[in-house]
Amino acid sequence: MDSEKEKNRLSDIVLERVGLTGNLLSAPVSPSLEPVVEIPSHGSQVRAGKVTGPEEYKRRFLVPAPKSVEWKTAYIDGRLHRRIAMLVRAAGCGSISGFIIRLLELHMEEHREDIAALLTDNEGFRLLVPQTEQQLGKKLRTADLQILAGLYDDLGMPADVIYLLVCHCVERARSQWGEGRRPTMRQVEKEGYRWAKLGIFDQNSAAVYLKKWAERNRKYTSYLSNLRILNRPPVEAERRYIDQWMDMGFPPETVALAYERTVFYKKDLNWRYLNGILRRWHDAGWHTPRQVEQGEAAAQRPAAAGKSAAPAGDKDAWMRRYIKR
């Protein structure tokens, strides 16, 4: 019973915080220590005063639950659910979950600066937030700030390196999807973890990586033209294939030769088949068109010699040896 009373008390506190008090609700809420003011046009009560900083925000909104009610998941009891449902029905639209999500979004937008300050007290991170917003062309939501703080705190990436990361993601989005396109913070986060895996944690290593990326980005056009793909940038899957070929040491001319073989056997461009040809050539140590030509000629000579040396009574021996290879 005490637990149920505590849930009801917390329910009333939640309702009072979001302003869902008055005739719409079935029961009054506990009085607040903070002053309230009347709005003449609506006759409802709202809180007076404005949050003046992160500590004030923490005191007002992040009050820990009593030790006797330490829930590990968010809980909305039946009474609170019915009250919110009543409000949603009165408005004539929406859903309870949509209402709660929107309510939290508005709250986080209103107090975004205080929440950002609570995520970290480092001055470098605070300067990073407006710089990131400028690059992405939007205000960062709380979820975006959490991603940014994760790169800074969890990965241990300095603020100046994170800024280079964001700028790189913006440039990559522009080159892939055209002018005006911006990456999401999830895409920035994914690239950030890739940088961490590569050991990019300072400006020097970031500069080396960005220079290499710029050089590769210029080469994509040459590789695509040898694959008869014109007037568009490569998609992400195509970039991964081309990156592999560049890492293996294949120039665009060798890729063009593999493309011709692919079209001959498959009647069209098949990336997986073409990649298989290049991998076999790489295993054989053939990377230029001349090396491929000489290597294939040398591989055919032993087969021809074996054929001529076959006994007269075993004319198919050379074919069996060729099949076993």
| Domain identity same for 8 and 109 | yes
* pLDDT class of 47 with cuts at 50, 70, 90: very low
End-of-domain residue from the set 151, 186, 201: 201
| Domain identity same for 99 and 129 | no
pTM for the full model? Answer: 0.54
Ranked by mean pLDDT, the top range of 71-80, 116-125, 210-219 is 210-219
| Domain identity same for 55 and 152 | no
| Domain identity same for 93 and 145 | no
End-of-domain residue from the set 88, 114, 140: 114
| Domain identity same for 93 and 165 | no
What Å distances lie between residue 224 and 52, 211, 246, 250, 256, CA to CA? 56, 21, 13, 13, 9
| Domain identity same for 44 and 99 | yes
| Domain identity same for 90 and 160 | no
Range of the domain at 55: 2-114
* pLDDT class of 177 with cuts at 50, 70, 90: confident
Q: Quick check: is 258 in a domain?
A: no
Contact predicate 278/254, CB 8 Å: yes
Q: Quick check: is 152 in a domain?
A: yes
| Domain identity same for 149 and 193 | yes
Q: Which two tokens stand for residue 169?
A: 């993601």
| Domain identity same for 110 and 125 | no
Total number of domains in the chain: 2
End-of-domain residue from the set 172, 201, 230: 201
What Å distances lie between residue 124 and 151, 203, 312, CA to CA? 13, 15, 84
- pLDDT for position 21: 44
